[in-house]
Amino acid sequence: MDEYILDMDRENRLGFPEVIYGQTKSVELLTKILRDYQKEGRNALASRLQPEKGEALLEEFQGSFYDPVSGSFLLRKNELDESTAKVGIISAGSSDQYAVNEALYTLNLLNEATVCINDVGVAGIHRLLKRLDDLKKFQVLIVVAGFEGALPSVVGGLLKQPIIAVPTSIGYGVAEGGKSALHAMLSSCANGITVTNIDNGYGAAMAAYRIIQLLQNQS
């Protein structure tokens, strides 16, 4: 019985590598898998690592990077120029940072620079309206919000780019776990918003990358 089977061919097939879901894997298993990537001369991302697992891997792999807010671990973090960013990430509150960062470091793995604009939730809508011109420059927008998840509806009515909405599990009472934000985003009256699973910054980054790849193939 094989302990695991890596999908090393995924990059050829889809243009992006498999990412390692770290939540339920042990440090031992993660180390083995990451060594396999290292042997192939590749970078790799492990997501959702608890702090103690992140620390252990930082020690194991020289030159690696770990972000405790999102639990993202990279074999190496790419240095990228934000002024060339094709993707903008907008978030409603500073409590949503963990999902923002998961998207950010996934795009880093894929060599895509990203700009993050935080704390522009709809309860103080002037904060968003002030940034509209900046936002028009990006080719894809990732919009992150918890609680009532209203931000993508407003952004979607103001801007014409592809918009990927990410509900977060931030909130309490009926908002606990992120179902309120998820349902609000799926029900949005704004046209052409698409949605990822709750807290899935990683998936949003991959969806953005599918679009960017398309642009690159075309040009």
Binders of its own copies among 12-71, rule CB under 8 A?
Answer: 13-16, 18-19, 21, 23-25, 29, 48
Name the minimum Å distance from CB 108 to its own copies.
Answer: 14
Query: Which residues, listed in sequence order, are joined to residue 94 by a DSSP beta bridge?
Result: none
Measured distance CA(180)–CA(27) in Å, rounded: 34
State which residue, 62 or 193, has the beta carbon closest to its own copies.
193
Name the minimum Å distance from CB 219 to its own copies.
Answer: 7
State which residue, 63 or 184, has the beta carbon closest to its own copies.
184
**Residue 135 interacting with its own copies (CB under 8 A):** no
- Which among 35-43, 59-67, 73-81, 198-206 is the span making contact with its own copies, rule CB under 8 A? 198-206
Residue ranges in 153-172 that form contacts with its own copies under rule CB under 8 A = 153-154, 156-164, 167, 169-172
| Of the residues 55, 79, 190, 201, which one makes contact with its own copies according to CB under 8 A | 190
Measured distance CA(105)–CA(112) in Å, rounded: 9
Give the tokens for residue 206. 């991959």
Residue ranges in 81-110 that form contacts with its own copies under rule CB under 8 A = 92-95
| Of the residues 64, 70, 72, 200, which one makes contact with its own copies according to CB under 8 A | 200
Give the tokens for residue 80. 């990228």
State which residue, 5 or 62, has the beta carbon closest to its own copies.
5
Within 13 Å of residue 140, how many CA atoms lie on the same side as its CB?
23
Size of site (CB under 8 A) for its own copies: 101
Q: What sign does the dihedral 19-21-25-27 (CA atoms) show?
A: positive
CA dihedral 68→7→89→208, nearest 10 degrees, is 180
* Cβ-contact 90, 151 below 8 angstroms: yes
**Angle made by CA atoms 7, 10, 16, in degrees to the nearest 5:** 130
Name the minimum Å distance from CB 107 to its own copies.
Answer: 11
Name the minimum Å distance from CB 200 to its own copies.
Answer: 6
State which residue, 62 or 191, has the beta carbon closest to its own copies.
191
Name the minimum Å distance from CB 62 to its own copies.
Answer: 26
For residue 148, give Cα distances in angstroms to 79, 95, 167, 181, 204: 35, 14, 9, 5, 19
* Cβ-contact 165, 188 below 8 angstroms: yes
